[in-house]
Amino acid sequence: MATGKVKWFNNAKGFGFIIEEGKDEDLFAHYSAIDMEGYKTLKAGQGVDFEIIQGPKGKHAVKIKASICIGTVKTEPAQKPKTQLA
């Protein structure tokens, strides 16, 4: 299974494009290929897992699932500015 990010997705038209991680080629993504419950949509920048097939006009992403983020991102606390005593 491949991973990548959603380049863009148009809800009204029901399609968009995904870019596979480490590649430059756009992969066509149709709403019917999204594997989720309820309203099937994707958001630009969203991480996804998918399979790739060859379609009549190019490569298609199928069996598209939202990537699951495990863990948390650690950030450093903001430092307070040092005050100068005169």
Which residues span the domain enclosing 18? 2-66
Inside any domain, residue 75: no
pLDDT at 74: 46
pLDDT at 86: 59
Its pTM stands at 0.76
Q: Is the pLDDT at 84 greater than 70, yes or no?
A: no
CATH classification of the domain holding 15: 2.40.50.140
Helix (H, G, I), strand (E, B) or coil at 8: strand
Phi/psi at 60 (nearest 5 deg)? -120, 145
Nearest to 17 by CA among 77, 67, 48, 72: 48
For 32, which DSSP code? G
Give residue-wise pLDDT tens across range 43-77.
Answer: 999 999 999 999 999 999 999 999 876 554 444 55
**How many independent structural domains does the chain possess?**
1
Inside any domain, residue 60: yes
Give residue-wise pLDDT tens across range 7-29.
Answer: 999 999 999 999 999 999 999 99
Inside any domain, residue 72: no
